[in-house]
Structure formats: C-alpha cells, structure tokens
Structure 1
Amino acid sequence: MKKKIAILFGGKSTEHEVSRVSAASVLRNIDISKYDVYPIGITKAGEWLEYKGSIDKIENGEWEKDEFYKVQDGQKLLFDKGVEVVFPVLHGLCGEDGTVQGLCRLLDIPCVGPNVMSSAVCMDKVYTKYVLEHFEIKQADYVIVTSAKYDKEKDAIIEQIETKLGYDVFIKPSNSGSSVGITKAHNREELIEGLIEALKYDRKILVEKAINAREVEVAVLGNDNPIAAVPGEILPAKEFYDYEAKYEDAESRLLIPADMKDNELEEVRELAIKIYSALDCAGMARVDFLVDKDTNEIYLNEVNTIPGFTKISMYPKMWEAAGKAYKDLITELIELAIERNNN
C-alpha cells in the first residue's frame, strides 16, 4: 500500500521563490509507484493551500491562481489526508528553523530532515558558531551585532569590527539563507550599508572576517550513521556566491568533485560528518566550507538542514556524482524520517 506524503512548499520566508522551484523538482522526481503525494503550498501570508494543479505553476508562481483548496487549519489538513510523512521543502524561517518540525512532532508525523533543536541551531548562524566552538571546529573570526545595540552604539560597534576583523568582511543576517541580505564590505562606507541591509532581514547580524577562499560543500545523509557524498566546489560568477550568482547568473559553475587531492577530499568529508553529528542532525544537511587559497586550511561556513533541491542545486548533484539517483535519494530521505520517528 502506498504511503501518503505531504510535500510542503512556499512559506513565509525570503526564500519562498527558491522553495517553489525546489519543491517542483522533488514532485517531478518522487517515486509515485511508492507514494501518494499531496502538494501543500504555504503563501507568503501564511495561508495553507492544498494544491491540485500543474507542477509547472508551482515553479513559476502561478499556483495560487490555479486549482487549490484553502484550509483554515494546516494540522487538520494533514490529519484529514492521513499524511504519514511530511517532506518540508521550505527554506529559511518558518520552515527550516524548527517551526514545522515542531508541528510534526506534536502530530507524531515523521518529518524529513533534522529535529526541532538541530533545525533551530543550524538556522541561526550565530548559535551554530557557539555550539561548534565547543567541538573546536575552525571558523572565521566574527563579531555579533544586534539591532538594539547598533541603534545605541553604532560608532563603538564599527570600531570594534574594524579593530578585531579589519577589512574585508562579510555581513550576514543570522537567520537567513540563499545568501539573502549578505554583502561584502571593503571599507567603512560599505560596512555601514551592509549592516543596514542585513538588519532588514534579522535583528541579529553576523560580521565575519573575509577569507580568500574557495567554497566547498558536502552533502551528508543519514541518522545515527551518516555518510557524506563527493564534495563539490562552487565557482561563482561574482566576487562571492550571493543570491544572484546562485540562481540568476548562468556563469556560476559547480565542480564535482572539488578540485582537491584525494586526501583533502576525504578530510573535508570526515569533517562534514563530525559537524553533522555534533549538531545532532538527521536525515540530511549540506555542510559548507571555506578552504583558504593560500594555506588550504578548512573553515566551516554554514550548515543547511533543508538544502536546495532545484535542478542546479548542489545537494542532489553531489549524491548523483556518488551514484545515488535523485529519485532514490528522495525515497531514502522519507525512509530515514520514518526510522528516526520510530526510535
């Protein structure tokens, strides 16, 4: 008998559009011989809609004008349909940060990906740093800025950043993904502009010392015995891999495997698994690193617990390079969610 799987997409975050594209790819590749699939869209306003129409319209954003049924209570919808597993293809806040995972936990429905705690910690770049410092994971030097503190002590904060980090620096909203709101500052004017930009997306900002680095990513899969795929490397079309370079610039390229020696590739894979386990991740995560171009030292960049699943996304591509087909990857993620829920 087929299991009933709810695919959640859209959401209230700044990554709503990316989520739709990822979900469309999942819906096109999920094994319908094994699963009855229920696409459920969440609008930017937070409305839950059971969608009945074309997958293409999810991808291009026209789905909200098509065949759907509005529901007043998302959890009632999951119960009424007898959903057995939730696959949240929801990037960013109110999807990747433990909120949906908590809902599934309350309903006792298996949910693809890490649990509430892991999701929340990995979503918050600052707390990811705090936790992984305990495990002596190498990370770029940083300064934390909050909106309240910036309003009161702007000059002191700028001086602190310049004294501790110098230039260049990256400015990042602590809770955001797909490089939304991230800028690189080469001087004080750009620093101030970057802080103002980042504070549009979060009350807590991470300012990091820029490293002259290559961007290497590792796909990790599993629960208590995770495995890592072949590491991949980002070759951004711009100075760094921002939102435009990720999703809009055809000149950005992905290199799988990364251009590293075999022993270096293995070191990155082992480090990714160590970080995944330290953060108590389950199901899946993509662990992103910065590899210093001069010293080859490896620094953690961030951890994504619901990585992109678009046709150009690194997570499924790295597993394809390791011999795991997209359809089989989706099936394994669903099985991992059931396994974790039963343990």
Structure 2
Amino acid sequence: MTRTIPTAAGRRPRVLLLFGGRSSEHPISCITAAGVLHAADPERWDVVPVGVAPSGLWSHGEVDAAAFALDGGELPAVPEPERPVSLRARPDGAVELVGGDGEDLGAVDVVFPLLHGPWGEDGTLQGMFETLGLPYVGCGVLSSAVGMDKHFMKVAFEAAGLEVGPWETVTDRQWRRDPEAALARAGALAYPLFVKPARGGSSFGITKVESPEDLRAAVEEARRFDPKVVVEAGILGREIECAVLDGRAGDAPRASLPGEIVVKGADAGHQFYDFEAKYQDREAAQLSCPAELPEEEIERLRSLAVRAFEAVDGAGLGRCDFFFTPDGRWVVNEINTMPGFTPISMYPAMWERTGIAYPELITELLELALERGVGLH
C-alpha cells in the first residue's frame, strides 16, 4: 500500500527522524541523526527529530539533535524526556505525533528510523510502523530481524548459494546448561576466532581470540551485549564492502562501487576495525573506493551483494560485507540493514564515490519508502 502525500502549496512530506534507542549503539544513532538533519533538503522535506531515550521513551523538542558530535569527549545521548511523545493513528488513516497529554503535534508521512541494534533495527519498530500504516525507510519486519541475527543471516545466505565462513552459535540456553560443551564446539574452529554478540553492531562486544584459553572470557564479554553469541573462524582475505540501494518500481536493487577499509594495525592500537577505529580515531583507517580489484571481480562482487540483499528479502538499503580470499573466493560476512549513516560512514561514502551525494541519498531513501508503502509485498 502506497501512501498518497498531499501536494498543496507549501506542503512538504513530514519526516519523523527517529534516533537514539535502547541498544548499545545509541550514541552512533545520535551522530547519524545529526548528519541527516544537516544534509536533508529543507525544500523537499519537513524533518521532525524525535529521540528515543535509553528507557525507550520518545522525546521531541527536549534535545538539539543537530548539535550531536563525536569530538573525543562524552558520547552523545538522548536524555530521559519530561514529556514523552508517541504516535497515534487517526480514523482517517493518517498518523500523528502526540504529546503525553494528547496534544496533537502534527501528522507524519514517513519515518527515517536511524536506530541501530535491538529494539530498532531488528524488526520491532518496523512492526509498529506496519501496524500504524506508516511508511518507513529500510527493510521490513522479517528482513530486519534476519539481518540483525548473525546466525539466521548466515542460514539465509547459505540457502541463497552464497559462501559463508565456518561458525558456531552459542545460545543462552546452551551456555547455561553446558558451557564446556559450547566452548569445545566453538573452539574446534580454526583460530583466530572472532566472538560476537549475535544481534549487535558497531563492533561492540567483539573480541579477536588467538588461543583457546581466551575463548571463555570473549564469550562472556559478548554476552554482556547479547545472551546469544556467534563465534566465527577468522577468514584470510581482504575485507571488502558494497552498499546496496533498492530499485524503483520493481527494478533490481543497485550496488555501489566496492570499498575497502585499510586499518593501520596493531602499531596504532587496532587489531581489527573496532569501535574506536570506526568512530573516534580518524587516522586509524582509510577508505579505498573503488577498491583495487580487477574489473571483473568488482562486477562479481556487486552481483553477490545484490544476491545477499535479496537473500534476506531486503528493502531500502543494506551494506554487504565480504572477504576476498587469496584464491579468489568471495565469502560473505554479513549484511547491515541500517548501516552507519553519518556523512563519513562507509555506506554513504561508497555511494558518494559511485555518484550519489549524501543529500541525494537521503532523498532517494525517503522516496523509496513512500513508493513502497506498507503491507505485504
């Protein structure tokens, strides 16, 4: 179902820019919101920022989201609101933002949910938007959930014929019942291992494990962020990423030129592309886009990225991460259905170098959301 946007003189589609959230990626979401607020075309969109505090309460007008920045100081956060707001469906089918006292804060036409991690990127909020009949940027309920869970994501990739590296999943039940058996199973993988929260992002809780005696502590660290943990065998190869943007009117999804992040390494204090290298140390890594690859491999990767996007029934956007092995194989690592979207993040940077500037990318995503609408597709 596609929502019809009023076109009266001076009427711009009203965008609910949702950011913050309950996950550990709260500060990155805040930074992303600042980037979008500065870049969204004010003549095309009426953007209304709404922050989600760590408690889950929504806040409007109690924080200056445009001022958020990662400047080496305290990480930004949405404060707990004194007057929480929410969404409400009207009898005429429109959806409005309302204050806690029932105050009408105006209708909303589309949501840009810049939330990363659980309770935002995992299908939970997407289900609410579907129930309200409110279009939103990005993947739907199922694809968001699958894309958030590294275990089921890998299952979907394998079903689509994509090569996936060796991995083991340790559920909360397995760990509580028999942690030694879980460690033995995961420890049978080839080292080094990467131990990750199954439903996390921004490199929170990830540990590179070089020897078996360090595996238990790494699992416990990942479990601080998610009781379900994925343990992956390290893949020897270059880490190459590709941004995917949905097609218009049923056309095939589009893939950007591939990008490669080159991390300076242990001498700079980064064993892998961790949180600090991504967001706090601008000298720690460098983007090469297009990545230095033969033309035929670039086109092969772009095709595989689209296949990965379609494997999880993606919509709107996604960033697909691969390993390119020395023997010429492409091993898919993961898809991120709401990738970092700050002006310097990989997703918009790759599209910038492919020919779509950051403000244009924001407009394209919002128009795709309005075109797609809600409901079964």
Q: Please report the TM-score for the alignment, with normalisation by the length of structure 2.
A: 0.86
Q: Measure the CA separation in 1 of the matches of 2:66 and 2:213.
A: 43
Aligned-residue offset at 1:204: 1.1
Aligned to 2:147: 122
Q: Is 1:61 matched with 2:76?
A: yes
Query: How many pairs does the alignment contain?
Result: 339
Q: Measure the CA separation in 2 of the matches of 1:155 and 1:52.
A: 49
Q: Measure the CA separation in 2 of the matches of 1:62 and 1:147.
A: 29
Q: 1:112 aligns with which of 128, 131, 137?
A: 137
Aligned-residue offset at 1:57: 3.2
Q: 2:110 aligns with which of 85, 91, 99?
A: 85
Q: Is 1:299 matched with 2:323?
A: no
* Equivalent residue letter for 1:24: A
Q: Is 1:270 matched with 2:303?
A: yes
**Does structure 2 conserve the Cα–Cα contact (< 8 Å) formed by 1:51 and 1:69?**
no
Aligned to 2:84: 71
Q: Is 1:246 matched with 2:271?
A: no
Q: Is 1:256 matched with 2:289?
A: yes
Aligned to 2:213: 189
Q: 1:35 to 1:72 in 2, by over 3 A?
A: closer
**Does structure 2 conserve the Cα–Cα contact (< 8 Å) formed by 1:39 and 1:52?**
no
Aligned-residue offset at 1:152: 2.5
Aligned to 2:48: 38
Q: Measure the CA separation in 2 of the matches of 1:327 and 1:336.
A: 14
- Secondary structure of the residue aligned to 2:338 is coil
Aligned-residue offset at 1:240: 1.3
* Equivalent residue letter for 1:216: I
Q: Is 1:2 matched with 2:21?
A: no
- Secondary structure of the residue aligned to 1:244 is helix
Q: Measure the CA separation in 2 of the matches of 1:212 and 1:132.
A: 20
Aligned-residue offset at 1:314: 0.6
**Does structure 2 conserve the Cα–Cα contact (< 8 Å) formed by 1:50 and 1:69?**
no
Q: Measure the CA separation in 1 of the matches of 2:76 and 2:159.
A: 43
* Equivalent residue letter for 2:179: K
* Equivalent residue letter for 1:33: E
Larger proportion of helix: 1
Q: Measure the CA separation in 1 of the matches of 2:138 and 2:180.
A: 41
**Does structure 2 conserve the Cα–Cα contact (< 8 Å) formed by 1:20 and 1:58?**
yes
How many percent identity over aligned positions?
41
Q: Is 1:28 matched with 2:38?
A: yes
Q: Which residues of structure 1 form unaligned runs of 5+?
A: none
Q: 1:166 aligns with which of 170, 185, 190?
A: 190
- Give deviations 1:115-155, integer Å, cap 9, x for gaps: 10100100000000111211121011011111221232222
Q: Measure the CA separation in 2 of the matches of 1:162 and 1:123.
A: 24
Aligned to 1:287: 320
* Equivalent residue letter for 1:152: R
Aligned to 1:318: 350
Aligned-residue offset at 1:53: 5.4
Q: Measure the CA separation in 2 of the matches of 1:61 and 1:166.
A: 39
Q: Measure the CA separation in 2 of the matches of 1:104 and 1:196.
A: 34
Q: Is 1:176 matched with 2:195?
A: no
- Give deviations 1:226-273, integer Å, cap 9, x for gaps: 100111001123221111221122221111111211111111100000
Q: 1:332 aligns with which of 364, 367, 370?
A: 364
**Does structure 2 conserve the Cα–Cα contact (< 8 Å) formed by 1:214 and 1:234?**
no
Aligned to 1:18: 28
Q: Which residues of structure 2 form unaligned runs of 5+?
A: 1-10, 70-74, 90-95, 99-103, 265-269
Deviates more, 1:23-32 or 1:252-261: 252-261
CA-based RMSD of the aligned residues comes to 1.8
Q: Measure the CA separation in 2 of the matches of 1:56 and 1:4.
A: 17
Q: Measure the CA separation in 2 of the matches of 1:6 and 1:263.
A: 41
* Equivalent residue letter for 1:229: S
